[in-house]
Amino acid sequence: MSRTFSIACHDCKQHLWIAQSSAGKGHIYIDELRKKALYIFLMAHRGHTLVFDNNCEGVIVDYNEIEPEKLVHQQ
């Protein structure tokens, strides 16, 4: 069973899905779209309380997921 992980902002209750792990092996998704989305997310949440956590079972389970495509195209 795989686990998915996001960078999340506690202040804004938003998260950006960026990684997945299964059977002890992990992968951070870093294609060009997600790289741009991660930069935009981090800049938008500068000075906020950020956490990297399991987005299905962790403390961020109820946070709003930000779609990379929408985030990049808003710019």
Whole domain around residue 25: which residue ranges? 2-73
Whole-angstrom distance, CA of residue 36 vs CA of residue 68: 8
- At residue 63, the pLDDT reads 96
β strands within the chain, DSSP E: 2-9, 14-22, 25-28, 50-54, 64-65
Across the range 12-36, mean pLDDT stands at 93
The pLDDT of residue 74 is above 90: no
CA distances from 65 to 10, 32, 47 (A): 12, 19, 20
Structural domain count, the chain = 1
pTM of the predicted structure, to 2 decimals: 0.89
